[in-house]
Structure 1
Amino acid sequence: MADATVEKSGYLSELYRSINAVKNPSELYSKLRRIAEDLSFASYVVLFLPQVTDEEIRPCIVASNWSGALLAAYDRLKLLESSPIIAGLRKTDVPVEYDLETLGTDRPEHEQNAAIDLFMEHEMPRGVYFGCHDKTGRRGAIGFSGNRSLPTAAEMATLHLISQHIFSRLYALMGDLGEKLVLSTREIECLVWSARGKTSSECATILGVAESTVAGYIASLNRKLHAQNKTQMIAIAYELGLISNANVGLR
């Protein structure tokens, strides 16, 4: 079914036109989610490749429909450092596939079961990541995963081309967003405390305001950053340089 979608006359050209037509990052993320759905993938992720000294994946993710629980567990289990997918993306421009049900995962023994259990729990046993880069040469990737079989040759070709185009388009849209963005002091404070893992209730206590006021700040941040949830809001803020590991107290 997914393969038939890719081979449908005009599918790739229509995707190309529709990606060119998006006006902000939020529209682009919606387009990416639709592509994943068209090809029967449960999840997608857009990320910049972590530095070798990075310890957490969350600041590297620009957009994803991964659950907050998955992201939190991934970083709590410290799975980034030995990630075979990230290692593969650093070494080659060839798409990096994984299949936990047949190949397991190439990790140190003490991490292997934890990684397999985590991604199986979230119904992501198979997937593929496409290395990308923006106009500055900064490297990243777009990944698709789920319960479906690994992509066919036709699907791989389509996803590879589209991933490159989406990543390039995102660079342009994020640049436009950063130039126009104006945040209040309170919004920046909410960003920092949210990135530190504080709930809205905890942010309200720290800032000395009502929880409904914090909810208003978060809603405003999501709107200004074209984010669909708090996790995406934080990721975009990292990418735009509004927050960093230093000012949120992460090392």
Structure 2
Amino acid sequence: MQKTMNELDLAMSFVEDVKKKTSIDDVRDQFARTITAFGFKSYLIAGVPLPGERLDDYHMASGLPLSWFERYMQENYVGEDPVVKRLRSSAQPFVWRDTLNDRTTNELGTKIMNEAHEHGLGDGFCVPIHGADGFQAGVSLGAPDVDLSERHRGALHLISIYVHNQIRELLMRNRVELPSVRLTPRELECLKWTSAGKTSWEISKILNISQHTVDWYLGSLGRKLGAVNRTQAVAEGFRRGFLH
């Protein structure tokens, strides 16, 4: 019991300290030190790519073994990673091994988990992050083995939310502000329906225009907003007041 209370105190201390950090490196260092108390030495903090997109544009911070991180990125495993698939539909933290029983986990997904094990990541704990602006992310912690009490899970949940929020805030703060932009009425319509989760094909039916035209409008508004993908365009839309 004493160990549990100490780790909960550590989580609260992390929350207080991380909000004062002004550099991403300092946030990462403190996070890495803190999670060792829970048996973790590896982590990944990233946005959740849309189906078909790569992880490159969503990566925020990584403390994964370099050999595994490079292989994961080179093979573009994010599309079939069972952990990422669970992230898209879950609001509750979960351990990696539970995803092996998900109906969406296929043969490649099982292979990815086995390869992670070969790189010292036999299991892990993942915390889904759902931002008020529609941005979806995850904080994933890896270890050879995972055995967490409910109190430990709660503490890691809190720590993960705050480390993600602080890193994302610093990333946004350090960005060069784009000049003010104006979107056409049709671009605004496409952005609105994209924020509602509609595909290009669905938007084309709603607006009675071709799918090619929808993609053109989305590309145009994306360039204006400085967004590299639709998720970022939606986030920028909220940030700039185009979406409410």
Matches within 5 A, 1:26-105: 26-54=25-53, 56-99=54-97
- Relative to structure 2, which stretch is displaced further, 168-177 or 121-130? 168-177
Does structure 2 retain, via aligned residues, the 8 Å contact 1:47–1:62? Answer: yes
**Identical columns (%):** 15
Equivalent of residue 167 in structure 1, options 164, 168, 171: 164
Deviation readout 1:118-153 (Å, 9 max, x if unpaired): 111211111111011345331101111101323210
Does structure 2 retain, via aligned residues, the 8 Å contact 1:123–1:146? Answer: yes
Question: Quick one: which amino acid aligns to residue 10 of structure 2?
Answer: Y
Give SS of 1:162's match.
helix
Q: Which residue does the alignment assign to 1:192?
A: none
Does structure 1 retain, via aligned residues, the 8 Å contact 2:82–2:109? Answer: no
Question: Quick one: which amino acid aligns to residue 86 of structure 1?
Answer: V
Does structure 2 retain, via aligned residues, the 8 Å contact 1:43–1:145? Answer: yes
Q: Which residue does the alignment assign to 2:154?
A: 157
Closer, same or farther in 2 for the Cα pair 1:34/1:4, shift >3 Å? farther
Runs of 4+ in structure 1 deviating by more than 4 angstroms, as ranges, are 3-6, 102-106, 241-245
The TM-score normalised by the length of structure 2 is 0.64
Q: What is the deviation of 1:59?
A: 3.3
Closer, same or farther in 2 for the Cα pair 1:88/1:113, shift >3 Å? closer
Q: Which residue does the alignment assign to 2:142?
A: 145
Q: What is the deviation of 1:88?
A: 1.1
Question: Quick one: which amino acid aligns to residue 46 of structure 1?
Answer: I
Does structure 1 retain, via aligned residues, the 8 Å contact 2:46–2:139? Answer: yes
Q: Which residue does the alignment assign to 1:20?
A: 19
Q: CA RMSD in A?
A: 2.9
The TM-score normalised by the length of structure 1 is 0.62
Question: Quick one: which amino acid aligns to residue 122 of structure 1?
Answer: H
Equivalent of residue 132 in structure 1, options 129, 146, 150: 129
Gapped runs of 5+ residues in structure 1? Answer: 181-240, 246-251
Does structure 1 retain, via aligned residues, the 8 Å contact 2:49–2:58? Answer: yes
Does structure 1 retain, via aligned residues, the 8 Å contact 2:117–2:123? Answer: no
Does structure 1 retain, via aligned residues, the 8 Å contact 2:51–2:79? Answer: yes
Question: Quick one: which amino acid aligns to residue 20 of structure 1?
Answer: K
